[in-house]
Structure 1
């Protein structure tokens, strides 16, 4: 049975088949989780991302994991929050769904998501957590894959928001 797990740790230390990077459209690294993943993976990741040539908001692409414990990195480009009237919720859900679709295509059994768009992109945390959890759980209910999906929170307030979203599904 496919399951969602909630953990508070550094996503670059996760021993899973794939970790998800909250990337920007250039895929060339940045701040927050994006910069941490690029630093931990090494310069080969940047070279592969350069060759891909970018990714549009709401989509995701797969690269190797290089020096990370994960075999792959799924680079998901989340929306910048502009008040909620620019299709941000649908684009955020699309990021999560696209990563899950890529996981099935590449036989990924375990994967770890960060809180996409909740840092510098300013997406309201509670709303983003609800969208993420609902999208992931709906996908797992429909496909039964991947087996283990981790939501990795770098801060306790983020973990709390995602725990509330998971509880909301159970009610």
Structure 2
């Protein structure tokens, strides 16, 4: 029995285009988008023009580079509100854990194959603590909590889970 949902190709292509934009590469040319998504440049152009018309993307006419559009501003507010409610709910527990065990305790959200830290609690009375970067998405295999998730939840359920992941080193080790 196949439990994989049927995907709509045009929607998936638009999502693939959006995924081209990163913190390190916020502005991208149509040729870069075409290459990254493996779409014909004319197909990419049609999708991009539709996304520009709906404010999902913006075109800088001076540089001919695209960036994420204002559409996401109002949607980001919705997500921030949800995240604030998680933090309010979990903050007392995270702070108590940090104090009791003299550790940095982090509240994280798993989104597909990424982990995002949304709150860090640090012990008040300790010689040192590790500072974590909040709101920076990291692949599961990079973080200790992600490795636990892989080992005890994802891999037992799907042994082939790692087959499609392109591993990128984040440290020399």
TM-score, normalised to structure 2, is 0.30
Greater Cα radius of gyration, structure 1 or 2: 2
- Which structure: greater strand fraction? 1
- Which structure: greater helix fraction? 2
